[in-house]
Structures are given as structure tokens and as C-alpha cells.
Amino acid sequence: MDTEAIDPMARLIAERACERLILDFVRRLDLGEPGTVAELFTTDGVWERPEGDRRIQGRDALREYFSARPVDRLSRRMCTNVLVTVASPTTASATTYFATYRVDGRTEGMLAPRLPANVGHYEDVFRKVDGSWLLASRTVFIPFGGPTERIG
């Protein structure tokens, strides 16, 4: 569908809803309950990383995957260059650049600054389901990265 045929206000609302999903995803990983990111996906949603052949599909599998994050992990993701493209009243896509700062083994206190553990971008596909925008798929590309540092 030609995006010009979409009402401009509807397009803005869809773009903002998709941007909010992108930000809510990283907030839940960094500051919330990681397993709850599964709620941001469609029931058949997919998270994948082509490097390493990781592909997780379905809310239950996503919840299990993200809940397995180490409990002593400290992370902060910086997202920028978010570009959402609305294709139709019920479909959209986005590209978002990110840098992840991450260590395992933190118990408390402030740490000295570190280089990012990885830098890359997300390629997202969104679907509007029952009036709400959700992630249908997220593909993660990490051209710069290394192992997570363990401290303590």
C-alpha cells in the first residue's frame, strides 16, 4: 500500500507507537523484568540474530530465552537513529542503531566507565493486532562486539 494513502495523523500515531515499543524493549531488558519483553511481540513473534544462528519464535520461547539473562548482569542500551516506516494501517518496519554497555557480576555501586560490549542495529517488523502495535520480528545485527566482562 502506498504510504501516501495513510492518513498523516494515523501515520504519526503508528510511528510513535512503534518507537515506544523499541524503547520499552530495551527498558525492560535493562531496568525491568527481561522475560516481559515477550509481551511486546505478536504470539508468533520472532527474535533472531543471524550471526550465531539464533532464532527464537513464539511468546513462551521468547519469555524463556530472555528470562535466562544472568541476574547479576548490569546493562544499558543506548538507542538512536530510529527510523520507522509505516507500510499500511497494520504494518510497519524500523531500523534502530544501538550500543550496549554490559557487565556480569555487579553487586552494587557505581562502576568505572567501559567501552560498549557491542554496537549494532535492530531491524524490526511491526504488526497491529487488536488495536495495538506489536513486534512481529526483531533481527539483531552486531558488527562490533565481544564477550561480556565478568567483574568481582
* pLDDT, tens digit (0-9, with 9 covering 90-100), for 110-143: 999 999 999 999 999 999 999 999 999 999 999 9
Across the range 55-74, mean pLDDT stands at 96
Residue 115 Cα distances to 29, 70, 122, angstroms: 19, 20, 20
Provide the pLDDT for residue 1: 47
For position 80, which CATH number holds? 3.10.450.50
Let me know: does 56 contact 48? Beta carbons within 8 Å: yes
d(CA 60, CA 151): 31
- Please give the Cα distance from 98 to 95 (Å, whole number): 10
The number of residues making up the chain comes to 152
| pLDDT tens-digit readout, 9-62 | 999 999 999 999 999 999 999 998 999 999 999 999 999 999 888 999 999 999
Total number of domains in the chain:
1
List the domain range (segments joined by +) for residue 122. 3-108+116-150
How many Cα atoms occupy the beta-carbon half-sphere of 137 within 13 Å?
Answer: 13
